[in-house]
Amino acid sequence: MTNPYRQLPSLDKLLARAELQPLIAQFGREAVRDEARALLDAIRSAIRAGEAPPSGDAIIVQLQDRVREALAPSLIPVINATGVIVHTNLGRALLSEEAKRAMIQVASSYSNLEYDLAAGKRGSRYIHAEALLTRLSGAEAALVVNNNAAAVNLVLRTLAAGREVIISRGELVEIGGGFRIPDILAQSGATLVEVGTTNRTRLADYARAISEHTGLLLKVHQSNYRIIGFTEEVEIHDLVGLARRLDRPLPVVHDLGSGTFLDTRPFGLAYEPRVQDSIAAGADVVTFSGDKLLGGPQAGIILGRKEIIARLKRQPLTRAFRVDKTTLAALQATLLAYLRGTATEEIPVWRMISTPAETLAGRARAWADALAQAGVRAELRPGSSAVGGGSLPGQTLPTTLLALPTDHPHRLLAALRAHTPPVIARVEEDAVVFDPRTVLPEQETALLDAIKHAMCA
């Protein structure tokens, strides 16, 4: 009888194995040694419990898995086959080629981020993208911060801390991830005053609630839900009219959520409030996200009156919410596409929204043909894609789905997620379905490989 412990390699012998050198090059000798030591300890315990020692090759594979599981970067690209274009869990908007280029440029070189080139002295990062934003929206001034939640918080804190903020009961929304308007309000030091009912709020409800304690009137876009049936809401234009008629005029703040410069109706969708319409209606401040329908980087965009934006720029908290230089670079490039009038061709969110139904059907058919050649039976089914990102709730775009009928859809979904790159699909009836609308053409080969793998496993 040989001693089973003697069959285990020593730590040094193990680390000298040729198969482990790439792992050591990637993660460093110390980390691999720590994991190897822990693995050998675990194997010794298993032997004590009566198990047979694994082979040398099996130990290598276990160590590779262990190191990757512990140390491989957790944020990785995935294939979005869900058909939800602005998918918050999958990173929202993809950037245009120009935006990516601008990001790399400013990341690889010094820049005038906070330097005034004309004066040769310290400048402000808050001026970048401002001219483009005011040109596109008609607003007097603009400020970009880290995200829209920060934008709303900053605005409420600056304009209404210690005062009352009047908002319709139908607009006390939870955006997702626990982001609730009432909490943001409480957090900013303002007091919430709800008016109207869940389904109906009239101008008179706002008028009755206004007092000497009021700081501002807030309108929040019902981003991710819709109240239907017996409903009434006050338009931003009427709210502005009310606020201006007061002896002491109050600011009207419009949180648009998604915010778009383009009209959604020509794409077969309902009307999503446009940024420039809200400014034209007289809103004193408008806020929206950079990475929803705008199709740019994560950012919170604040537009509004010069004196209000100037106050926001002076607020100490603005520093904590400040935007990164690569974000500003990508945002400028994204905005230029709107200025050129080429947004629907250049910006992935809009390219996906505007992809013709025949193109999607053709791609799904090509996928089914390729899979058939590999012996995988797939069907084509009519389906619907969603815009997502807290915009256009209940609105869908017609598409053609590739469907894989299966008795165990959740097992198939898990196998697809375990692939490199992971594929995120969804279940519809008896099948796992894939929507070509959100799959990039350059990802198609990887997608089909993942499906073949998962179906044959």
Ligand X SMILES: *Cc1c(COP(=O)(O)O)cnc(C)c1O
State the residue for tokens 């809009």. 350
Choosing from 220, 253, 323, 412, the residue that interacts with ligand X (CB under 6 A) is 220
Choosing from 83, 251, 257, 304, the residue that interacts with ligand X (CB under 6 A) is 257
Residue placing its CB nearer to ligand X in the complex, 175 or 330: 175
Q: Which stretch binds ligand X (CB under 6 A): 136-144, 230-238, 254-262, 436-444?
A: 254-262
Choosing from 80, 168, 289, 318, the residue that interacts with ligand X (CB under 6 A) is 289
Determine the longest span between alpha carbons in the chain, in angstroms.
98
Q: Which stretch binds ligand X (CB under 6 A): 148-156, 196-204, 330-338, 430-438?
A: 148-156
* 162-180 CB burial, b ≥16 within 10 A, e <16: ebbbbbbebbebebeeeee
The CB-of-201 to ligand X minimum distance in angstroms stands at 16
Do the Cβ atoms of 172 and 194 come closer than 8 Å? yes
The CB-of-94 to ligand X minimum distance in angstroms stands at 16
Distance in angstroms (rounded) separating the CA atoms of residues 361 and 427: 19
Tokens of 309: 């934006």
Task: Sheet with 285-289: list strands edge to edge.
Answer: 141-145, 300-304, 285-289, 252-257, 214-220, 164-168, 191-195
Q: Which stretch binds ligand X (CB under 6 A): 23-31, 50-58, 144-152, 159-167?
A: 144-152
Residue placing its CB nearer to ligand X in the complex, 73 or 178: 178
Q: Where are the alpha helices (DSSP H) in 246-347?
A: 275-280, 306-314, 317-320, 325-340, 343-346
Q: Count interface residues toward ligand X (CB under 6 A).
A: 15
Distance in angstroms (rounded) separating the CA atoms of residues 337 and 323: 21
The CB-of-93 to ligand X minimum distance in angstroms stands at 11
175 touches ligand X by CB under 6 A: yes
255 touches ligand X by CB under 6 A: yes
Tokens of 437: 């609308």
Residue placing its CB nearer to ligand X in the complex, 353 or 413: 353
Distance in angstroms (rounded) separating the CA atoms of residues 401 and 330: 32
The CB-of-83 to ligand X minimum distance in angstroms stands at 20
Amino acid at 330: A
What DSSP string runs through 153-218?
HHHHHHHHTTSEEEEEGGG--EEETTEEHHHHHHHTT-EEEEES-SSB--HHHHHHH--TTEEEEE
Q: What is the DSSP letter of 274?
A: B
80 touches ligand X by CB under 6 A: no
295 touches ligand X by CB under 6 A: no
Choosing from 83, 390, 409, 436, the residue that interacts with ligand X (CB under 6 A) is 390
Q: Which stretch binds ligand X (CB under 6 A): 219-227, 246-254, 403-411, 416-424?
A: 219-227
148 touches ligand X by CB under 6 A: yes
Tokens of 404: 């894989």
Choosing from 147, 318, 332, 400, the residue that interacts with ligand X (CB under 6 A) is 147
Among 192, 280, 201, 194, residue whose Cα is nearest residue 233: 201
The CB-of-348 to ligand X minimum distance in angstroms stands at 18
296 touches ligand X by CB under 6 A: no
156 touches ligand X by CB under 6 A: no
Residue nearest to ligand X (CB): 257
The CB-of-174 to ligand X minimum distance in angstroms stands at 10
Q: Which stretch binds ligand X (CB under 6 A): 6-14, 157-165, 185-193, 251-259?
A: 251-259
Distance in angstroms (rounded) separating the CA atoms of residues 436 and 79: 11
Which phi and psi (to 5°) does residue 200 adopt? -135, 125
Residue placing its CB nearer to ligand X in the complex, 83 or 257: 257
User: Which residues make up the interface to ligand X (CB under 6 A)?
Assistant: 147-149, 152, 175, 179, 220-221, 223, 255, 257-258, 289, 300, 390
